[in-house]
Amino acid sequence: MLIHPWDAATEDEALAFVRANEFGHLVAAGRDREVPVVVPTQFLLTGDRMVLLHLARPNPIWAAIEENPAVLLSVAGDWAYVPGAWKILPGEDDPRRGIPTTYYAAVQLLCHAEVVTDAEGKAEILRAQIGRLEPEGALVDPAEHERRFAGIRGLRLTVRKVDGKFKYGGNADAEHRRHVAGRLAERGGPGDAAALAHLMRRSEG
């Protein structure tokens, strides 16, 4: 993806966003395919360099991974539409001449995929995911469902490269960013609070 210098995220910033948004698209290019296989999926980032997840055995991504274990995990969110009029300060120009945009965050993790087929490996992945999402003791240990493990495979993705983009007006001056921040706060629509938080954090940094 295109990342301008003013939109570029640090690795820590990008990984923090991934941890806070544990749903994305896993992309496997395979070899000599017309289009890659793209799978929407929940996942768990453990530490900074390992992603765990599981998918159904009939999923078409397995063949693509077997052809080529290099995969991309793409996570995007916290988006908000910024009307063109918001880009013009009061009295600066005709608001109709403002250029609209969309604020958003996006992180892409280039990974090496390891397919997990053994029962204990699958149970380990499921324990980690359940432990992240369920209250302690709310469910039995995944190993108790071992007879159903034949229907899934696990994945361990070792992160090789992190690309993060936080498009929140970094190319505008402080006065214009404050103006847009005020409009986001006033509108309070879906995604506005998250976009405002990123805008303010990156402006202060």
Distance of alpha carbon 26 from alpha carbon 6, whole angstroms: 27
Q: What is the pLDDT of residue 106?
A: 98
By percentage, how much of the chain surpasses pLDDT 70? 100
- Over residues 88-116, the mean pLDDT reads 95
**Res 201 pLDDT > 70:** yes
- Over residues 44-60, the mean pLDDT reads 95
Q: What is the pLDDT of residue 95?
A: 92
Q: What is the pLDDT of residue 48?
A: 82
Q: What is the mean pLDDT of the chain?
A: 95
Indicate the class that CATH gives domain 11-204.
mainly beta
Q: Is 45 exposed, middle or buried (0-12, 13-18, 19+ CB in 10 A)?
A: buried
**pLDDT bracket for residue 137 (50, 70, 90):** confident
**Within 134-191, where are the H helices?**
174-187
Cβ atoms of residues 199 and 184 within 8 Å:
yes
Q: What is the pLDDT of residue 134?
A: 86
Specify the pTM. 0.93
Q: What is the pLDDT of residue 47?
A: 86
What are the distances in angstroms from CA 69 to CA 19, 23, 37?
23, 20, 12
Q: What is the pLDDT of residue 205?
A: 64
**pLDDT bracket for residue 33 (50, 70, 90):** very high
* Lowest-pLDDT range of 73-77, 128-132, 153-157: 128-132
Distance of alpha carbon 67 from alpha carbon 75, whole angstroms: 24
- Over residues 105-128, the mean pLDDT reads 97
Encode pLDDT of 145-191 as tens digits: 889 999 999 999 999 999 999 999 999 999 999 999 999 999 999 99
Which one is predicted more confidently, 201 or 136?
Answer: 201
